[in-house]
């Protein structure tokens, strides 16, 4: 029997528009579990403007920066660490294209097609690479010990 692939971690965000409806996060978590993701950690947050500006600093000069920071400080949201082999690619496939209108046309079963509102209010975030995932996980979960995780649950 071939060895089982090692799990990968990714950061997922359920943004404020999703969390504004208390029925949606549990429904979305069901969809996440149905696709064999393990929920490693979950944290609910309410950001100050400085938090949003720090996390999205790489977009500071982009036209959508102000709108994005306003959106992400508009209410509580959830940060999650998800795990499974190929977690980054799998989570990004589940959330779908960044623009919900495009998602509805091209990927109608994705989470953004189902719940996204606009290109800025697109309901979800997913890390785009392993390097980004480590940085983002550290931002939201500074106490998370990757080595301890790998030694226990991560090495299943």
67 labelled binding-site residue: no
User: Per the structure block, which two tokens stand in for 21?
Assistant: 């409806």
Is 99 a catalytic site residue? no
Distance of alpha carbon 141 from alpha carbon 59, whole angstroms: 22
104 labelled binding-site residue: no
- Neighbour order of strands in the sheet with 77-84: 38-45, 77-84, 8-14, 124-126
15 labelled binding-site residue: yes
Q: How far is CA 151 from CA 7, 86, 112, 155, 156, in A?
A: 12, 19, 34, 6, 9
98 labelled binding-site residue: yes
Of the candidates 10, 81, 87, 125, the residue annotated as catalytic is 125
Residue written as token pair 């697109």: 122
Q: How many CB atoms lie within 10 A of CB 88?
A: 20
135 labelled binding-site residue: no
User: Per the structure block, which two tokens stand in for 42?
Assistant: 């979950």
131 labelled binding-site residue: no
> For 122, which DSSP code?
-
Name the nearest CA neighbour of 42 among 76, 86, 85. 76
- Residues in binding site for ATP: 15, 64, 92, 98, 112, 122
Q: Which positions are catalytic?
A: 125
């Amino acid at each position: 029997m071939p060895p089982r692939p090692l799990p990968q971690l990714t950061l997922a965000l359920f943004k404020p528009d999703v969390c504004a409806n208390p029925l949606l996060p549990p429904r979305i978590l069901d969809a996440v579990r149905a696709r064999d993701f393990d929920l490693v950690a979950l944290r609910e947050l309410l950001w100050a403007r400085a938090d949003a500006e720090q996390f999205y600093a790489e977009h500071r000069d982009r036209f959508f920066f102000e709108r994005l920071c306003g959106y992400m400080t508009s209410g509580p949201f959830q940060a999650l660490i998800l795990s499974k082999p190929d977690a980054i690619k799998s989570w990004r496939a589940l959330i779908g294209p960044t623009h919900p209108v495009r998602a509805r046309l091209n990927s109608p079963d994705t989470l953004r097609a189902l719940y996204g509102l606009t290109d800025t209010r697109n309901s979800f975030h997913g890390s785009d690479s392993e390097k980004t995932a480590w940085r983002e996980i550290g931002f939201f979960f500074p106490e998370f010990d990757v080595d301890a995780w790998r030694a226990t649950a991560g090495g299943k």
